[in-house]
Structure 1
Amino acid sequence: MVFELFTKGDLSVIYEVTSEDFIYHGSSGDSTRQKLKDFMGWYRTCFQDDQWEINDLIEQDNKLVVRYTGFSTYKGGWFNIPSTNQRVKETGIMIYYFEGKKVKELWCELSDANVLYQLDALPKGTHETFQN
């Protein structure tokens, strides 16, 4: 059910799968579950027609680590970057910490810079890593 929040955009599950004191750790700092819900709502308007692959799934004690790859179509709405319905690839790692059956913390590292590069928001040749 926790994956449905991200893979299907089912925002109704966020209060079912997270604890009341849930903390989301992302590139913008720490957030509440309401802010994560708001972010996911925004994200799903900007990036649509998504397909996700789980590349690694590691579980230990109360921790779950997921390394994923996603493909979606950019529809606009991010840093005023215009959309030409570009198909982009995103990669990331999420680390879930559970308290009982609820997610208490989520750490998330995403490939935002690479996605910006794919959308031509970063000039070509700015970083060799993104040149494929």
Structure 2
Amino acid sequence: MTKQANIDATKRWGAEVASAGKYDVLDEILAPGFVDNDPAPDQGPGIEGLKDFFRKMRTAFPDLKAEVVEMVATDEHVAMRYTLSGTHRGEFQGVSATGNNFEVGALQIGRFENGKCVERWGSTDELGMLKQLGILERVAGQSK
């Protein structure tokens, strides 16, 4: 497959899966043995684990948006810098809705074979997200 096909698949991940809740798109863009090397807390393995993660995120943040800021690609890898944002309207990590908004930066690198992502690495400013949502103070208070 071409570098452009890998870029297009990565864009679909953000636009169709994260932002629009079309979880079955993951079956089209991820390889059957897909490995997430940086899973979110409580995320299960493989494609089904990722689908479940996005279901939970979109339940907690119905207006979740992943907007690409920059992409760089080779024939095998696609690196994406993006902004993740949403409004806390449902339970998230055991915390009921705060109504607060968040917007944080994130990075993702995907490795592709035959036009499908076989593994990913990523990093999201989770601390910044928890601070903006007002959750960090709640969690810190519980651990005392």
- Identify the TM-score tier after normalising by the shorter chain: 0.7 to 0.9
SS of 1:108's equivalent?
strand
Structure 1 runs of 4+ with >4 Å offset? 27-30
CA distance in 1, matches of 2:88, 2:29: 28
Q: 1:8 aligns with which of 16, 20, 23?
A: 20
TM-score, normalised with respect to structure 2: 0.76
SS of 1:36's equivalent?
helix
Query: Does the 8 Å CA contact 2:57/2:64 hold for their aligned counterparts?
Result: no
Instruction: Answer with 60-69 or 73-82: which moved more.
Output: 73-82
Q: 1:49 to 1:30 in 2, by over 3 A?
A: closer
Matched residue count: 125
**Number of the residue aligned with 1:17:** 29
Structure 2: tracts of 5 or more residues without a match: 1-11
- Please tell me whether residue 104 in structure 1 is matched to residue 118 in structure 2: yes
CA distance in 2, matches of 1:121, 1:52: 21
Structure 1: tracts of 5 or more residues without a match: 127-132
**Number of the residue aligned with 1:63:** 77
Higher RCO structure (Cα 8 Å, ≥6 apart): 2
Query: Does the 8 Å CA contact 1:50/1:70 hold for their aligned counterparts?
Result: yes
Sequence identity percentage: 25
Question: How much does 1:30 deviate?
Answer: 7.8
Instruction: Answer with 102-111 or 51-60: which moved more.
Output: 51-60
Question: How much does 1:102 deviate?
Answer: 0.7
RMSD after superposition: 2.2
Q: Which has the higher strand share?
A: 1
